[in-house]
Amino acid sequence: MPTAPVHHANTSNGRIAYTRRGQGPTALFVHGVFVNGHLWDDVVDRVCHMRQCICPDLLAHGQSRERSGADLSFAGHAAALAELLDALEVDQVDLVANDSGGGIAQILAARHPERIRSLTLTNCDTHDGWPPPAFLETHAQMAGDGGPALLRALSANPALVRTSFASALEFPERLDDDAIHRFIDPLVRDDDRISSLVEMFRAMNCQDTVEVEPQLRKLAAPALIVWGSADPFFDIHWAHWLRDALPNVRRLIDLPTGRLFLPLDRPDDLATELLLHWQPELRARLTAP
């Protein structure tokens, strides 16, 4: 599939880059740290016949450009995504998210429930689960003085990226050098970008996701949870927490060997579940006796 053209939209926190592909109602796909909208390429390939798929780059990632002093907390990112939808004149979306993008998506859904047609969460930050214990060392390095050196080392050495990402991937051998460069190179394109990602790590905490719990428990939109339970970062108990907190969870799919980056490892499984989630009448026919 040819690479989709990159568009830009201005928000109060910066200029957000995004791709838009497909037809039908709009779906918004939100990635997490260290990657960008390309995380969803293989999933979008499989669902764009049914949805107009918008894949933004979060601020401090990809081709987006954050303004000086931007709010790079989870809540700040959620606000920027709401402004992106305003700029695109999109009223409602099927919201799909992974990793720290899942924490951002929960805030967006809780604060703008009228804009959420459906919600799909894969392995992600949830409630007071940030930072996950397996990520504490990386978080401390990124939020401290070692962040710039770590980013430059990753950019210079794809093998180091593959090693660093290995625990987040079920099939790390499939992560080729081109994909690594698409994810990592934009993070180090200049000193301002490096500083922005460091500031994002310093701003990230669980306060924002904890604060929206009451609104999240009232979210009427149908929800799907797809979780890789071999993930060393986000344990399956967070999927159970979401199932119990969200009032309209239709399905919880446990992929026993899946890990954090399900959109890269399991695009077929994830796309199949999305299409069924978006077509409840089809699921009803398939499961009818």
So what's the pLDDT on residue 273? 97
Predicted local distance difference test score (pLDDT) of residue 288: 56
Structure tokens at 191: 């000193």
- Mean pLDDT across the chain: 95
Integer-rounded Cα Rg, in Å, for the chain is 18
> Alpha helices, DSSP H only, in the chain?
41-47, 74-87, 100-111, 136-143, 147-156, 158-165, 177-184, 191-203, 207-211, 213-216, 236-245, 262-265, 267-278, 280-287
> What's this model's pTM, rounded to 2 decimal places?
0.96
Only one residue has tokens 């907390």, namely: 73
User: Can you give the pLDDT at residue 3?
Assistant: 74
* Complete domains list, the chain, with CATH: 6-287 (3.40.50.1820)
pLDDT mean over 189-215: 96
Q: Write down the pLDDT at residue 283.
A: 64
User: What confidence score (pLDDT) does residue 31 get?
Assistant: 98
The pLDDT tens digits of the residues spanning 60-84 come to 999 999 999 999 999 999 999 999 9
Q: Which of residues 1 and 234 earns the better pLDDT score?
A: 234
- Res. 281: pLDDT tops 80: no
Structure tokens at 10: 């201005």
Q: Is residue 259 over pLDDT 90?
A: yes
> Is the model's pLDDT at 285 over the cut of 70?
no
In this prediction, residue 287 carries a pLDDT of: 63
Buried b (16+ CB within 10 A) or exposed e, 118-134: bbbbbbbbbbebbbbee
Least confident range from 113-117, 176-180, 211-215: namely 176-180
